[in-house]
Every structure is written in structure tokens, then in C-alpha cells.
Chains A and B, each alone.
Chain A
Amino acid sequence: MRFLGLELAHPVVNASGTFDAIAARRVFGDELLARFPFAAFVTKTVTLAPREGNPPPRLWELGAGMINSIGLPNKGLARFLAEDLPVLAELPVPLVVNVMGSSHADVGELVAAFSARPEVAALELNVSCPNVKTGLLMGADPGETAALLDAVRPRAAKPLIVKLTPNCTSPAAVALAAEQHGADAVSLINTIRGMAMHPRRPGRPWLGGATGGVSGPAVRAVALAQVREVRQRVKIPIVGMGGVQRGRHVQDLLDAGADLVAVGTENFRDPLAGSRIAGELARMSAKSGFTASTTMDAAMTLRPNA
């Protein structure tokens, strides 16, 4: 299948921040390259300056998922370019780099730096970050998202995917602004803000960051509804994600209007979740007589004016 001009072996990729291909290669060896579970690899968020991340505890388990307060730890642009990019370039699939900044200038610099690198196939903008100038989340308001894209789109020589946040009034309105201001695709959903109380200290939150992001099967129904709503507003491709554990869940997101699907939390439970789920999807399609391309056509018919 094709997505943003990339030839992909199947429609399942990883959600940003849910798989560290470099660490996994140290753990599992080069077998990881021979049996890489995703059709493309999306990196953890890269920022201009290094980030330590949030204080622990960073995780809370739910009955159907988890809450994380990781805080986007990363080594910063310079060390990522020098140390990680050459290793990630050895992966057998296209590389999507996820970036985040707290100002248009920061995001622009990240976008320009990665646009200059042939190892990078596409960029994903994490817009779940406050703009230091306005105090608003860049992805929580259509005007903020439009202004960000106006500032950084000219510096992007790669396809640009905007990762929408579900923590706003209308992700579909933000998606439309992204489309109108030059985004090549949108991805959704990011985690939904949540929290857990400390089991032994009354009145205190458990997570070091107080609140965190809910992910896993608990958010699957929300993802499905938001993907459908966004599909009704935009024509650009959608990367759908949220609680995907089985081939059936991929099919549901494709049917709701996604073109590509990402697996996130399930990677933590099963390092080969991506290829397992892609296999389940292929077997479902074979059984029902649908091919991947007719599934895509079915999704297309949901698009307005398509």
C-alpha cells in the first residue's frame, strides 16, 4: 500500500513514543531488523534541547490500559542527529521523525534540520505543547495550529503529519485548519489527559507529573469516534490510533476513515504486536474477500467530495 508517497508493506505502524528501535535492537539483536514489526517507524518526540523527562513514578496501570507521565525525555536534536539517526537509518522501513517545540522558531528549526536528511521519509509534528508566546496548546486551537503551519510549512521539504490532541474542543476543527495550512496528513488520537490518586497518600496524585495520558483499550472507542469526525472534515490521509490490539481494531479504524493505523500501548505487552496485528488484518481481509485496496476504496467513499 502507499501512504504519502511511501510504499508500505502493510497498514500498521507504531505510535510515537511506544517503541525504541535502538533499545529493542540491543535487547533482541539483529533479529529485530529481519522481523521488524512495523511498516514504517515513528520515532519518539525529538526536541531542540535535551529533556530529562518527568520525575517517577511515570506509570499507572488501568484495567484496560494505562496512564503515562513520561515527559518526552530525549537527547535533543544535535545528539539525535549524530547518534540515533544513522542507527535508525538501518531499519528496513521508512522513518518518520516526530518533533516538538514550544515556539514556531524551535519547530521550524527541527523541521528544517530533518528536511535536510535523506534518511527521513516524513515528519510528524507533536502539537501537544504550549506555545510559550500565547500559552495555548499549539494543537488545541485551530488558529494556533494554522499559525504554526504557516510558520514551519515553508521550511519542511518532507511530508508533514500533524499529530492531533484529543484534549480540546474540536479535534476535527484543528484537523481542518491543519489541512488548509499545508499539512499532508493528520494522526490521532494522542493520549487523553487523566490521573490517578496515590493509593497510600490521601489527596496526592500518584504520577510524578500529577496528570498523564491515558492509552490502551480504554480509549479505543474515543479514537474511533474522533477518526470518523476528522474524516468528515478533511480529505488528507489519516493515521488512526488508540487502543489497537487486534486486526479487527485496525479494520474498524480503516472503516471509520483512517488510511494507516498505529499500534501504541499494545507494543508494551507484545514487542511483535505490529506484525501480529497486520497478519490478523490480512487474514481477515482474505477471509472476507476484501483486499487491502478495496478496503482503502471503502474508506475513500466516506470522504466528502472525494
Chain B
Amino acid sequence: VSAPLGRRRAPVTARTSLGAYVVLSVADAGGPAPAPGQFYMLAATERWGGGADERPFLPRAFSVARRHADGTLDFLLEDVGPGTERLCALDAGDELWLLGPLGLGFAAPEDGRRPLLVGGGVGIAPLVILRDALRPEPVVLLGFRDAAHADGAALLPGARVATDDGSVGHHGLVTELLAAELGRRPVSSSGPRALGPRKPVSPSGPRALGPPDDVAVYACGPPPMLEAVRALCAEHDVPGQLALESGMACGFGACFGCVVPTRRGYVRLCVDGPVLAAADLAEVA
């Protein structure tokens, strides 16, 4: 889906707290419907700057989490720096500069493979709109730091959750749940990170997948999670589509700042991504 030329003013219609996150709803009735995995550049029209180190200066890239029938766009935010701090402080009636939808989103699963969605932290955002677009409902595996962050799983009802501190769901990493799904074997309690005693993950119950060669993995999350997903896809020879993140000045291919290394050299994440094939990456750093 191509973007209207130029940034547009868009009113914030709601700010909803969701545990450690904020869902920012923005009216964009005149804008095109984004494809799952596409993103927008956001900046407050007022007081963009003047935070920590007088930042922010540049707009911020966010995958769209949902588009409602009336054109409202939902973005999932976590206050982690001067840009997200300002965006998380916006209220209904405030205005944003909106540019998008941008980038290349997720491709439909090839040859009837069943999509398996894997998300970590604020990276669950593009999986929400992807899940909305998939029928039947896919298996969704989500990982969070703790219970406050795991509240974000409410955006993906029916998802299986892992938390680093064991406060919700599986005590451990979401990639352990993925390994269990792909390998059809229980997770051992000696993962790469010793975070205390863990219960083995039971093999999938009623929503059991077929053999791994029927699966296509869709993932978004922090780099260590995506690297583990990439390695698992390679190990099990299943196709994976990874939505990556990178610092970005423009979002439309102008600055060449957001490149990531791939097997075919550096690519600009904004115009050649943000979704890349796992097989194209030697490593997610």
C-alpha cells in the first residue's frame, strides 16, 4: 500500500493504558488501509523537542497495530525515550504529524503453510493487525518481561504467553515456546538464561500444529528474540518473516540511516523492510 505524499495532521482520539503500554488511537479516515507490518512516522505537532537532551527532533517509526473500520489507527507505545515519552503524553484532541503507511509488510504464507506468530514486548504491535487479517486464527506466542508488560497480550486474545519473571504463563522465553512448537518436544528447563526453576512447556494441546514443514513463522520483537527466531527457522527449515526495528530519520528512503546487514548487503529497513525474510539474514544484531 503506497502512502499519500506528505505528512498529514491527524487528531489523537484516545489514549488507553494497557499495563506498561499505551495504545494511541489516531483518526485517519482519509488515509489508505495499511497492510499488516507497515509502519507510520509519528511526531507531535506541538512541543516536539524540549525533552531529555532537548529531543525529540526527528519523527518516530511505529508499526500500526490495528486499523478500525472508521479509519482509526491504533499504535502500541512504550515510554522508553524522549520521543515515546512525548507521544505517550498525548491526549484526545492533541494532534500528530502522520506519514504513511510505509514500508513492505508481511507477505501471505506461501503454499498453504499455517502462520505461527511470535511477538516480544512492544513488538507484538504488527502481529495484532496481522492476526486480524488471518483466517483461521493463527497460533500466537508472546513474550514479555513481567506481568505489567504481559497485559499487552490482551490485544491478541488466545495467545500463549511467556514472561521473563514467570509472573504470567511460561517462565522463560517466548522462543522456548516456539522451539517446542517447531520441534514438537518439551522445553528443557536449562535454557540459555537461568531465571530460576521453570516448568516444562507442554506440547501444544488442542491447537496443535502439524509437522513443522506446514508452518510459516511471523515474528516481531527485540533483536535477541528475533535472532533466536531466525536461528530456529534455519534449524527447522521453515520460512520466517521478521519485522525488524532500526533508528530511522525519514521512513521513506531518503536518509540511508536505517540499514541492516543482509546476505545481499545493507538494505534500508524503511523501503526494503521492515519485514525481511529470515533466510536473508545471517544474524539479527
Contact = CB atoms under 8 A, between A and B. Distances in A.
Given A61-B58, A63-B54, A23 B252 contact: yes
A62 interface: yes
A268 B55 contact: no
Contacts of A170: none
A68 B255 CA distance: 9
Contact of B99 (A20, A56, A58, A271): A271
Nearest to A44: B256
Interface stretch (B143-151, B162-170, B229-237, B258-266): B258-266
Contact of B254 (A23, A58, A65): A23
Contacts of B257: 58-59, 68, 70
A57 interface: yes
B246 interface: yes
Interface string A25-48: 011110110010000000010000
Given A59-B249, A73-B256, A73-B266, A28 B7 contact: no
A63 B7 contact: no
A27 B253 contact: yes
A195 to B, nearest CB: 15
Interface residues of A, number: 38
Give the dominant DSSP class at A's interface: loop
A287 interface: no
A201 interface: no
Nearest to B48: A269
Contacts of A57: 247
B271 A62 contact: no
Contacts of B259: 53, 56, 58, 73
A18 B255 contact: yes
A66 B57 contact: yes
Give the dominant DSSP class at B's interface: loop
B266 A52 contact: yes
Interface string B91-125: 00000010100100000000000000000000000
Contacts of B246: 56
Contact of B256 (A58, A61, A271): A58
B4 interface: yes
How big is the B interface, by class?
A: 35 or more
Contacts of B43: 269
B5 A28 contact: yes
A272 interface: yes
Contacts of A64: 49, 54, 57
Contacts, number: 118
A267 interface: yes
**Residue from A35, A61, A66, A272 with most neighbouring chain B CB atoms (10 Å):** A61
B70 interface: no
A274 to B, nearest CB: 11
Contacts of B192: none
Interface in B233-249: 246-249
Contact of B252 (A27, A53, A55): A27
Interface string A126-139: 00000000000000
A216 interface: yes
A58 B268 CA distance: 12
Nearest to B250: A268
Given A56-B259, A57-B247, A271 B49 contact: no
Contacts of A268: 58, 249-250, 254-255
Contacts of B255: 18, 59, 68, 70, 268
B2 interface: yes
A68 B258 CA distance: 11
Contacts of A20: 253-254, 256
B3 interface: yes
B214 to A, nearest CB: 34
A32 B59 CA distance: 21
A216 B54 CA distance: 14
Contacts of B261: 55-56
A45 B121 CA distance: 39
A63 B57 contact: yes
Contacts of B97: 270
Nearest to A73: B256
B271 A26 contact: yes
A19 interface: yes
Nearest to B56: A61
Given A19-B254, A27-B252, A271-B6, 5 more contacts: A20-B254, A63-B57, A267-B254, A269-B250, A272-B5
Interface of A: 17-20, 23-24, 26-29, 31-32, 35, 44, 52-53, 55-59, 61-66, 68, 70, 73, 216, 265, 267-272
10 contacts: A20-B253, A24-B253, A28-B5, A29-B2, A44-B256, A53-B266, A58-B258, A267-B250, A270-B7, A271-B252
